[in-house]
Structure 1
Amino acid sequence: MMNTLLLKYPASWWKGQWREALPSGNGTIAAAVYGAVQDETILLTHEKLWHGVVTEQLPDISDRLDKVRNLLDEKAFFEADRVMADALKESGYAPQIGTPLPLADLKVRTPVNSGFQNYRRDLNMETGEVSVSWKDAGTDYSRRLFVSRTDNMVVMEICSSASVMDFQITLERHTFRDISSPNDTFRHVPLNITTEADAAGWIRYAGRNDDGTDFGAVARVIPTSQENSPAGFKAVEGRLHVNSSRSALVLVKLFVRGEREAAWASLKQELHEQDVDYETLLARHTEEHRTLFDRLTLDLGGSEADHQLSNEELLLDAYQGTASTALVEKMWAFGRYLLISSSRPGSLPCPLMGKWCGEYHGFWAFHMANENLQMIYWQALSGNLTETALPVFDYFDKKLGDFRENARKLFGCRGIYVPCVTTPPSGLLKDIQPHTIHWTGAAAWVGQLYFDYFRYTGDLDFLRERAMPFLRETASFYDDFFTLDEEGFFKSSPSNSPENTPGNFYEGSGMGSRMETTINATMDFALAKEVLTHLVEGGKLIGSDQDELKKWEEMIQKIPPYQVNDDGAVMEWMHPYFPDNYHHRHQSHIYPLFPGLEVNSRSDLRLFEAFKTAIQKRLEIGISEQTGWSLAHMTNVYARLKEGDQALECLNLLARSCVMNNLYTTHNDWRSMGIGVEMEWAPYQIDANMGWTAAIQEMLLFSLPGRMEILPALPKAWSKGSIKGLLARGGIEVSIRWDIDEDLIEAELLSLGKDQEIELGFPESPSRFLHLENGVKQVLRR
């Protein structure tokens, strides 16, 4: 039951039931099951269906950069803040970010006799199958559904223990009653909706998007049990009335960017040729799904009794102060499941709301690259799911031309400028708020994933053909954008430490700020240093030109050293006019410690302690300004600090504040409980789900090329357990089992692809140096 989510309550969030639905997906198409007894809704979505996206020709405002810099030097910060944003607006530039568009609702209406009993809904994360079951007047009912990876369709089975089962089924435009976003919800409602049904068991549905193309679906209903009489179909106004014996199979295929008549004909032919046995289809899908899900297994000691509890019971227990180990394990598995279900080779990356957005104008449903997109993928490489990161590289590589245009027209620079907010299909700047324009670090932070993919896989072709070109472009931007100060160090202006405002401009609210445009945000230099260091390392491996290597090494020497304030904390801005502000959710200046690898307890103990102080201030002083994802980020930071108990406490805080009953995480608590920033609206965001999973993996294994530490941040509560199938940098598969009471810590190492030398560290033990042979397992004990 560890890998099963059990609920005893249906989706119930007022005007937003999709938020509490149970998700299934294959990386491209997705379904969210609400779990209603009488009038069931299954939200259907497709990753390529977006609306409201407006891309315009980006004007050249690069001549305004000098004005911004001069105003900042003159301490005219408020005036400097608006220069570039106002220039874009004055030129008539009015792009629209857009949001995902719900494709359809699959509706199933079941008669009610005396009322439901024995209700439950569950998600089997090992298969991706969502089930809903209940009893009514002595009859058992059930619905099972999954989104097939192998057949690229939604598969549902409807069953009854009665001899004859009646139900109605249709496809409809996603209901307006299920929308509660504070945005302008109805600006881009799809038009020209058509639903057709026929007595042969077919349903055809289509709508028209704002780009003039059609989207839709075809459903086929097939009776699968006919002991007494053949099934009967009656089509009435697009709704199929089904009279079947015991069970029926429903197959649904989706299309986007098509023409409805042609798409309907094509999908009908595909469905006509499909297998019509639920178990056969499930087995075929499960084999591929489990190949991914089962690569990594975790046992932290959660009791079987706790694993039998419903999500609601586990969350209520967490409200008493401590999340049970069973809940910690389920949340880890759920984050893994969500990544597998929303990211696969050839797909788009997973956005902030995952691929199950039920809003017509989703609140922060885009790709946000100043924290959130990166957090979604932190677990991928160490979790041995390297292929799930490929959509990120495809997405950004295809937009390099737009990113070059951004750099040239906004700042007059070579190289690439990646906006922190992007949506398909364009990479041009769409969000023209000052703080998003002035943050120049997105390319570098995304670039970390490029280089880490090489470090984990050892794929030299990827390094040569994809990682190094992306990082070169990023470095070229920095070479042009940075200027030199009086001491010969780089100066970053304008600068932004994502979404934070310095202490002398702080208004007293974590989400509100007066001014975010600054000089020399620490994160700017941490990112630039990492890019250049990776270029030098990678360049030596692939034989880059010596002049090029020398150029990057010289640039590294011009990066100013990190600064420490009077509190002993690393400063967020390397400029005397901008004091620290601990009241904020972002932890951008902690980057060299995490997610970067520059600072650790062995590299620079003084800096290591200064980063520790900085994160402690964020939690102690700024607890009321945190969010779901910031608590997940803190957990990862405390793992790097080897503070296992404090890392677990951050997960406890997250469980009490920002986890819904289906275990989705929210941006913030909406109930004024004092943990986290107060907002009237609490957007669902998938990033904290993913960050939770990454944090547990970080707590159990830390790796650098040629070095790894076993159980670096093990909490006292996890005294016995195991994890099998982690991936370490250098391409080493790692399995660990431990029993602290028995003084047992054992690690099994398997080098994949090469012989190598490594340094291995166990807790409270001297390091040992090992030679690992390619493909040969080694088992070591502390």
Structure 2
Amino acid sequence: GWTMRTQNNLFGYSDWNWNRPANAWYCMHLWEKYLFNPQADYLERVAYPVMKSACEFWLDRLVKDKDGSLVAPDEWSPEHGPWEDGVAYAQQLISHLFEKTIEAGKLIPSEREFIAALEMKYAQLDKGLHIGSWGQLKEWKYTEDDPQDTHRHLSHLIALYPGDAVSPLTMPEYAKAIEKSLDARADVGMGWSLTWKIALRARLFDGERAHSLLKKAMVLADGSQGRFGVYPNLLNALPYQIDGNFGATAGVAEMLIQSHRNELHLLPAIPSVWADGEVRGLRGRGGFEVDMVWRNKKLASAQVKASGDRECTLRTDVPLKVVNAGYSCEKDGHGYYLTTFHTKKNKTYKIISDR
């Protein structure tokens, strides 16, 4: 298998701490690339072999904890606190790696034996989701979190974003614990940290808080309002961090569309100041391209272009009609409408509100 250190560059240089779970984090990007543009050849030749090799590293390294679960030994929660077994940062990333490698491997017939073995280990794996004494999602399995800790890192919240293990729709108790942890960390931070919080709030469907964080990320860093924000050319400030810029963009996209649950959730976290709007060219997992128009925070119309022949499900808070295809629209137990239809490659589907 393989793993890596914390600091790396394009020329093979690497230094500082070994960041072993980062191999799983890197693999997350490979899997996401496949999801946004499902190409079987890319998955089989490029993404899956790297993901499998990262899994092999953890199959060798995991140990049995005193509660019987499998944990990563002697890990950290970047970049603070104690080193101990089973920290949330490592467990959530390894869980995501195993789950997605299993999903990928099932698409490759020759990998059946390895995937069966990986499924057995995944069943024993500590998933890194534990609720602490003050209702928070625990950052360390055994060390108690400090509710006064406002450290910029949010390493124990990866299961919500950029991961997909936790959703308010499927795991409300863990979503509430993440919200508790996020509240304790406060709406402050530099670059990537502040913009990560935008996406986390969007995944919690909190558009108002996400927008408030976006405004803070866009403050001019000229010393009059603070050190953080953006320079006059809009590059992320102090120090310049491209992930601050990319993070803000990703956060805005998460406010407009979410696609990590095998569906396109349209307008999941719209703030009141964006009550009316239009967006074009958003990309969703499954290879869907989406345009939308909304009024009073409700979807008015949309267009969905498919990159392949597959099923598409839209989650909205209003019922929909698919103008040029057969479809079903049903209300679920959360009060959302699920509109499902089959798509053909390169065909565009017109959607209108049925209200």
Give TM-score, length-normalised by structure 1. Answer: 0.40
Q: Which runs of 5+ in 2 are unaligned?
A: 220-227, 319-335
Q: Are the aligned partners of 2:314 and 2:340 in contact in 1 as well (CA < 8 Å)?
A: yes
> d(CA) in 1 for partners of 2:233 and 2:78?
30
Q: Distance in 1 between matches of 2:233 and 2:12?
A: 33
Looking at structure 2, the residues matched to 544 and 583 of structure 1 have their Cα atoms a distance apart, in angstroms, of 47
The residue number in structure 1 matching 2:83 is 517
What is the CA deviation profile of residues 733-765 of structure 1, one whole-angstrom value per residue up to 9, with x for unaligned ones?
111111217x5521211111x221122111354
Given candidates 339, 348, 352, the residue that maps to 1:777 is 348
| Structure 1 residue 480: Cα displacement | 1.3
Q: Which residue of 2 aligns with 1:579?
A: 145
Answering whether residue 5 of structure 2 is matched by residue 425 of structure 1, we say: no
CA 1:442–1:758: 2 relative to 1, 3 Å: same
**CA shift at 1:424, angstroms?**
3.7
| Contact persistence 1:464–1:542 (CA under 8 A) | yes
Aligned to 1:766: 337
Which residue is 1:729 aligned to?
Answer: 285
Code of the residue aligned with 1:774 in structure 2: it is K
Deviation at 1:721, TM superposition (A): 1.4
Residue identity in the other structure for 1:455: L
The DSSP-based 3-state class of the residue aligned with 1:706 is coil
2:321: which partner in 1? none
Question: Quick check: 1:734–1:749 contact (8 Å CA) kept in 2?
Answer: yes
Q: Does 1:569 pair with 2:125?
A: no
Verify: 1:597 aligned to 2:164, yes or no. yes
1:65 equivalent in structure 2: none
Displacement of 1:419 = 1.4
Q: Does 1:698 find its partner at 2:261? A: no
Q: Which residue number corresponds to residue 606 of structure 1?
A: 173
Residues 674-689 of structure 1: pairs in structure 2 closer than 5 A: 682-689=238-245
Superposition RMSD in Å: 1.8
Q: Where does 1:473-492 land on structure 2 (aligned, <5 Å)?
A: 473-492=53-72
Q: What is residue 641 of structure 1 aligned with on the other side?
A: 204
Task: For 2:84 and 2:144, locate their aligned partners in 1 and report how far apart those are by CA, in whole Å.
Answer: 8
Q: 1:746 aligns with which of 301, 318, 325?
A: 301
Shift of 1:700: 0.4
Paired position in structure 1 for 2:223:
none
Larger CA Rg, structure 1 vs 2: 1
Partner of 1:467: 47
Partner of 2:325: none
Counterpart code for 1:596: G
Contact 1:573–1:580, Cα closer than 8 Å, also in 2: no
Q: Residue 713 of structure 1 corresponds to which residue in structure 2?
A: 269
Equivalents in 2 of 1:529, 1:554: separation in Å?
Answer: 12
Query: Across the two proteins, how many residue pairs are aligned to each other?
Result: 326
Do the aligned partners of 1:749 and 1:779 also contact (CA within 8 Å) in 2? yes
Tell me the TM-score normalised to structure 2 length: 0.87
Q: CA contact under 8 A between 2:265 and 2:315: conserved in structure 1? A: yes
Matching residue of 1:136: none
Looking at structure 1, the residues matched to 97 and 231 of structure 2 have their Cα atoms a distance apart, in angstroms, of: 38
- Share of identical aligned residues, percent? 26
Equivalent residue of 2:349, what SS? strand
Distance 1:590 1:497, change over 3 A: same
Structure 1: runs of 5+ lacking an equivalent: 1-414, 502-515, 667-681
Find 1:629's aligned residue among 166, 188, 192: 192
Residues 459-493 of structure 1 show CA distances to partners (whole Å, capped at 9, x for unaligned) of 11110011111111111111111111233211322
CA-CA distance at 1:772 after TM superposition: 1.7
Question: Is the contact made by 1:706 and 1:757 (CA closer than 8 Å) also made in structure 2?
Answer: no
Q: Higher relative contact order by CA 8 Å / sep ≥ 6: 1 or 2?
A: 1
The superposition leaves residues 584-605 of structure 1 with CA deviations (integer Å, 9 ceiling, x where unpaired) of 1111111011000111122211
Question: What secondary structure, in the 3-state scheme, does the structure 2 residue paired with 1:453 have?
Answer: helix
What is the 5 A alignment of 1:163-182?
Answer: none
- Which aligned pairs between 1:189-208 and structure 2 lie closer than 5 A? none
Q: Once the 2 structures are TM-superposed, how far is the Cα of residue 500 of structure 1 from its aligned partner?
A: 2.2
| 1:578, distance to aligned residue in structure 2 (A) | 4.4
Residue 553 of structure 1 aligns with an amino acid whose one-letter code is E
In 2, Cα distance between equivalents of 1:522 and 1:456: 27
